[in-house]
Amino acid sequence: MKLCKLIFVAMMMAINSLSSNAVTLHTDAGRLAMLITEEMRSETSLTITGTMDARDFAILAEAFPELTHLDISQVSIVDYSSTSSIIAGQIRHPADALPPQAFFGMKVREVRLPAELKSIGKGAFVATHIQTIELPENLTTIGDYAFYDCDRLQQITLPTAVASLGDYAFADCQQLTSVDISQTQIDSLPAYAFTGCSSLVSIVLPYQLRQIGSAAFAKTGITSISLPTPLERIGDYAFENCYNLSRITFQAGGTGLTVGRNAFASCDKLTSIALPAYTSYIGASAFEGTPLTAFVIPQSVTILNNNLFKGTKITSIHIPANVEIIGEDVFYNVPLTKITFAEGEKPLTIGSLEHDVSKKDNRNFGVFFGTQITELVLPDRLVSIGDCAFYNQTTLTSVYMSKNSQLKTIGQYAFAVESGRSRLNSVSLGGSLEVIGQYAFYKANLIDITIPRSVTLVDKYAFSDNMYMRSVVFEMGGN
Q: Contact at 8 Å (CB) between 81 and 91?
A: yes
Residue 156 pLDDT: 92
Q: Each residue's pLDDT tens digit in the chain (479 positions)?
A: 444 444 444 444 443 433 345 799 999 999 999 999 999 999 999 999 999 999 999 999 999 999 999 999 999 999 998 765 555 556 889 999 999 999 999 999 999 999 999 999 999 999 999 998 999 999 999 999 999 999 999 999 999 999 999 999 999 999 999 999 999 999 999 999 999 999 999 999 999 999 999 999 999 999 999 999 999 999 999 999 999 999 999 998 999 999 999 999 999 999 999 999 999 999 999 999 999 999 999 999 999 999 999 999 999 999 999 999 999 999 999 999 999 999 999 999 999 999 999 999 999 899 999 999 999 999 999 999 999 999 999 999 999 999 999 999 999 999 999 998 999 999 999 999 999 999 999 999 999 999 999 999 999 999 999 999 999 999 987 66
78 CB-near residues (< 8 Å, 6+ apart): 29, 51, 52, 53, 95
**Amino acid at residue number 134:** E
Residue 410 forms beta bridges with which residues? 385, 436
Among candidate residues 322, 323, 411, the one with its CA nearest the CA of residue 363: 411
pLDDT value of residue 17: 39
Report the 3 state secondary structure along the chain: CHHHHHHHHHHHHHHHHHHHCCEEEEECCCCHHHHCCHHHHHCCEEEEEEEECHHHHHHHHHHCCCCCEEEEEEEEECCEEECCCCCCCCEEECCCEECCCCCCCCCCCEEECCCCCCEECCCCCCCCCCCEECCCCCCCEECCCCCCCCCCCCEEECCCCCCEECCCCCCCCCCCCEEECCCCCCCEECCCCCCCCCCCCEEECCCCCCEECCCCCCCCCCCEEEECCCCCEECCCCCCCCCCCCEEEECCCCCCEEECCCCCCCCCCCCCCCCCCCEEEECCCCCCCCCCCCCCCCCCCCEECCCCCCCCCCCEEEECCCCCEECCCCCCCCCCCEEEECCCCCCEEECCCCCCCCCHHHHCCCCCCCCCCCEEECCCCEEEECCCCCCCCCCCCEEECCCCCCCCEECCCCCCCCCCCCCCCEEECCCCCCEECCCCCCCCCCCEEEECCCCCEECCCCCCCCCCCCEEEECCCCC
Q: How many other CB atoms are found less than 10 A from the CB of residue 204?
A: 13
Which amino acid appears at position 254 of this protein? Answer: G
Which of 98, 121, 112 is closest to 70 using CA atoms? 112
Q: What is the pLDDT of residue 21?
A: 55
- Asked whether the whole model's pTM tops 0.75, one would answer yes
Note the pLDDT of residue 138. 97
Query: Is there a contact between 417 and 438 (Cβ–Cβ < 8 Å)?
Result: no
β-bridge pairing 80-82 and 91-93 = antiparallel
Q: Name the burial class of residue 478, with classes exposed (0-12), middle (13-18) and buried (19+) by CB atoms within 10 angstroms of its CB.
A: exposed
What is the C-alpha to C-alpha distance for residues 233 and 76, in angstroms, rounded to an integer?
40
Please enumerate in sequence order all residues whose Cβ is within 8 A of that of 5, keeping only pairs 6 or more positions apart, or say none.
Answer: none
**Which residues are 467's β-sheet partners?**
none
DSSP bridge partners of 316: 338
Distance, CA of 66 to CA of 468 (rounded, Å): 83
Please report how many Cα atoms fall inside a 13 Å half-sphere around the Cα of residue 29, on the Cβ side.
14
Query: Could you tell me how far CA 101 lies from the centroid of its own chain?
Result: 27
Give the pLDDT score at 125: 97
